[in-house]
């Protein structure tokens, strides 16, 4: 747990200067944001072209599978365009070693937009003062499933002519390695794996690197491409995916009749800088990371305490134990909002315990994007920053009747509330990860 504003002073304040996003709503930051504001959900029925083992999944689910995919062909084009901005050799070629996997393409495409948005000179990426904190919730399932087929299906080629896939597909840090390889990075690097809180935990770790003085710049983000038979079947068995036959309206965060989520894919990457570094190069700040941290809820591997005690304790540590200069009552809250009964209740109860009757306006994006799993925390953090930038609290897609047990102030429709000064982002994850981050304009 940390409060960034009171440890060293303004030179080490942590600013966000660039955002790159690939989501089911759009192939970039602004198109994703505009579709979210329009309340346009991305989930749909999947086709055989979207996913392998389509017929087997259909038999298991007793319906056509639903999800919120991205256009992986278009993502690959964006990723290669980013890679072409960097000098490479045969040994370090992104096209040769990394581009065969969708997870790598997602993170590189988002990375390209983020550094362009920040107007960051790519030569700075190789500095020992630049860090990389890029996470995933799991290694590439596409690679693992294809390897399983090669082992057990005689009709599948052994693939002796395949590119080098072990380190660039089968390891959770493969997307991080892709960025390090492109950037010729020499500074600190790590790959957090915190289930669906991965993206937000990564942002907090990157912020700490800057505020401790170890880095001037840190690239952080996460990606996930889990519209795969293994995940969809497993989540179906767990009972956390919606049983609705209409994918677009299936995920209903905090709604009285919610019954789970649909899985989506995507990535988000951010450029974080110290205030001193950002001001020296006249960079535009999208927001300052003020405080944050994470706790562990020991209730179970896939459960969280529905009383919200862990969420409330996290809020107390983040918002009470800080400098008096920090406003502990954010203007709005971006919730995790999975649309599952227990998770939504835990978030709502925790907010109620901390804020009492005065819970700030809140929104959840998974009704529009699906649950992006390892990319959820980063993409939703990006939407939170854009809400601060534009003075807008997005609506919560598919919310028609708030659960009376979830007494939170959910925004059903996009609400322009300019000016907005502070925002709170919460993320939860399997394994008991409960993370939060307070940001201000």
Report helix, strand or coil for 387: helix
Assigned CATH for 10-280: 3.40.47.10
Query: How far apart are the C-alpha atoms of 126 and 220, rounded to whole Å?
Result: 15
The string of DSSP codes covering 312-367 is HHHHHHHHTSS-TTS-SS-SEEE----S-HHHHHHHHHHHHHHHTT-PPPEE--HH
DSSP assigned state of 285: P
289-440 matches 10-280 in CATH topology: yes
Q: What is the mean pLDDT of the chain?
A: 90
Question: Residue 315 is encoded by which pair of tokens?
Answer: 């809020």
Nearest residue to 108 (alpha-carbon basis) of 127, 125, 124? 125
By CB atoms closer than 10 A (0-12, 13-18, 19+), residue 121 is: exposed
- Please tell me the distance from the alpha carbon of residue 263 to that of residue 67, in angstroms, as a whole number: 5
Alpha helices, DSSP H, located in 38-140: 54-61, 72-83, 94-97, 102-118
Convert the pLDDT of each residue in 81-115 to its tens digit: 999 999 877 666 888 889 999 999 999 999 999 99
* Of 259, 435, 247, 423, nearest in space to 344 by CA: 259
Q: Residue 244: pLDDT above 90?
A: yes
Q: Residues 264-322: pLDDT tens digits?
A: 999 999 999 999 999 999 999 999 999 999 999 988 888 888 899 999 999 999 887 55
Instruction: For the chain, count helices (H), then strands (E).
Output: 15, 15
Cβ-Cβ contacts under 8 Å for 146 (sequence gap 6 or more) = 156
Tokens at residue 246, please?
A: 């209409």
Contacts of 9 (CB under 8 A, 6+ apart): none
Residue found under tokens 């005689």: 154
Please provide residue 272's backbone torsions phi and psi, each rounded to the nearest 5 degrees: -105, 140
Other C-beta atoms within 10 Å of 263: how many?
26
State pLDDT tens for residues 328-358: 689 999 999 999 999 999 999 999 999 998 9
Tell me the mean pLDDT in the region 202-225.
Answer: 97
Choose the weakest-confidence range: 56-65, 139-148, 230-239.
Answer: 139-148
Map out the domains of the chain as residue ranges.
10-280, 289-440
Q: Residue 94's Cα: distance from chain center in Å? A: 23
Per DSSP, which regions of 210-330 are E strands?
Answer: 217-224, 266-274, 287-296
Question: b or e along 204-234 (b: 16 or more beta carbons within 10 Å of the residue's beta carbon)?
Answer: bbbbbbbbeeebbbbbbbbbbbbbbbebbbe
CA angle, 101 as apex, 96 and 105 as ends, to 5°? 85
| CB within 8 Å of 96: residues ≥ 6 apart | 90, 163
For domain 289-440, is the CATH number 3.10.20.30?
Answer: no
Mean pLDDT computed over 24-30: 98
Higher pLDDT, 143 or 349: 349
0.85 surpassed by pTM: yes
């Amino acid at each position: 747990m940390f409060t960034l504003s009171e440890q060293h002073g303004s030179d080490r304040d942590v600013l966000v200067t660039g955002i790159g996003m690939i989501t089911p709503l759009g192939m970039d930051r602004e198109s994703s944001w505009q579709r979210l504001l329009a309340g346009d959900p991305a989930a749909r029925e999947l086709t055989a072209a979207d996913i392998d083992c389509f017929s087997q999944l259909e038999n298991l689910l007793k319906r056509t599978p639903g999800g919120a995919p991205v256009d992986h062909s278009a993502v690959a084009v964006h990723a290669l365009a980013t890679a072409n901005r960097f000098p490479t050799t045969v040994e370090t070629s992104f096209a040769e070693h990394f581009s065969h996997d969708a997870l790598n393409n997602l993170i590189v495409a988002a990375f390209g937009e983020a550094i362009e948005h920040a107007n960051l000179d790519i030569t700075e990426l190789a500095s020992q003062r630049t860090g990389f904190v890029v996470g995933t919730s799991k290694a590439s399932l596409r690679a693992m499933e294809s390897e399983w087929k090669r082992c057990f299906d005689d009709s599948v080629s052994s693939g002796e002519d395949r590119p080098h896939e072990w380190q660039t597909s089968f390891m959770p840090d493969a997307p991080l390695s892709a960025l390090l390889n492109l950037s010729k990075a020499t500074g600190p690097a790590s790959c957090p794996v915190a289930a669906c809180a991965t993206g937000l935990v990564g942002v907090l770790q990157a912020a700490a690197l800057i505020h401790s003085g170890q880095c001037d710049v840190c690239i952080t983000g996460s990606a996930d491409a889990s519209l795969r038979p293994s995940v969809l079947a497993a989540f179906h068995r767990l009972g956390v995916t919606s049983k609705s036959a209409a994918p677009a309206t299936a995920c209903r965060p905090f709604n009285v009749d919610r019954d789970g989520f649909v899985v989506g894919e995507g990535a988000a990457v951010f450029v974080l800088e110290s205030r001193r570094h950002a001001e020296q190069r006249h960079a535009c700040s999208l927001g300052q990371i003020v405080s944050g941290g994470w706790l562990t809820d020991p209730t179970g591997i896939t459960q969280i305490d529905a009383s919200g005690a862990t969420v409330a304790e996290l809020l107390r540590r983040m918002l009470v134990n800080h400098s008096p200069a920090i406003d502990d009552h954010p203007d709005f809250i971006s919730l995790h909002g999975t649309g599952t009964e227990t998770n939504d209740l835990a978030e709502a109860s925790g907010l109620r315990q901390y804020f009492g009757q005065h819970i700030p306006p809140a929104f959840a994006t998974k009704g529009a994007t699906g649950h992006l799993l390892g990319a959820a925390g980063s993409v939703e953090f990006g939407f939170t920053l854009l809400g601060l930038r534009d003075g807008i609290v997005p609506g919560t897609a598919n919310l028609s009747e708030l659960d009376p047990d979830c007494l939170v102030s959910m925004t059903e429709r996009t609400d322009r509330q300019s000016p907005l000064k502070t925002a709170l982002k919460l993320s939860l994850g399997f394994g008991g990860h409960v993370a939060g981050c307070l940001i201000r304009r």
